[in-house]
Amino acid sequence: MKKVLLGFAVILLAVVAVSCSSKSNSPKDVAETFIQAMKSKNYEKAADCFYYEGTKDEIKADRAQVVAFMEKAGQSMEKDGGIKSYKINSIDEDGDKAVVKGEITYGNGEVDDDEIKTIKVDDKWYVDLDK
C-alpha cells in the first residue's frame, strides 16, 4: 500500500512540476499559459509558471506567497469582469530574459497594457519573479 501511495505522490508531483513548463518553450508560451491560468482562476497553475530558487522551504514559502498574490489579483480582476482576452503585441528578447508586451481586455470592456517579464532557466521559460 505504501508503494502505491508513494507512486501516486511521485506522479502527482511530476504533473504539477511540468504543468506550466511543459509548454514553456518560448516567452510567448509561458505568458499565454500564465494568462490562461489567471483567466480560468487556476492560481496554482499560474504559480507554477514562475521560476523559484533557494532551499525547498524557501521555494515552498515563495510559491505560497505567489499563490496568495495571484488570488488577490484575480479578485481584483473579477471586479472588472475577469479577463476576457489577451493579445500579445511584441516580445523583446535579450538572451535568457524577455519581456512579453500585450493587452488584457476585461469583461467590462476595459483594456490595459501589460508586460510579463520572463526568464530562461535550463532551456525552459518561466515568468520571472524579478526580486
Which H helix or E strand runs over 18?
Answer: helix 2-18
Residues 50-105 have pLDDT tens digits of 999 999 999 999 999 999 999 999 999 999 999 999 999 999 999 999 999 999 99
Residues 9-44 have pLDDT tens digits of 333 333 333 446 455 589 999 999 999 999 999 999
Residue 130 has pLDDT above 90, yes or no: no
Can you give the pTM of this predicted structure? 0.79
What is the Cα–Cα distance from 44 to 112, expressed in whole angstroms? Answer: 24
42 burial class (0-12, 13-18, 19+ CB within 10 angstroms)?
middle
Domains parsed from the chain with CATH numbers: 26-127 (3.10.450.50)
What is the Cα–Cα distance from 91 to 28, expressed in whole angstroms? Answer: 7
pLDDT at 16: 37
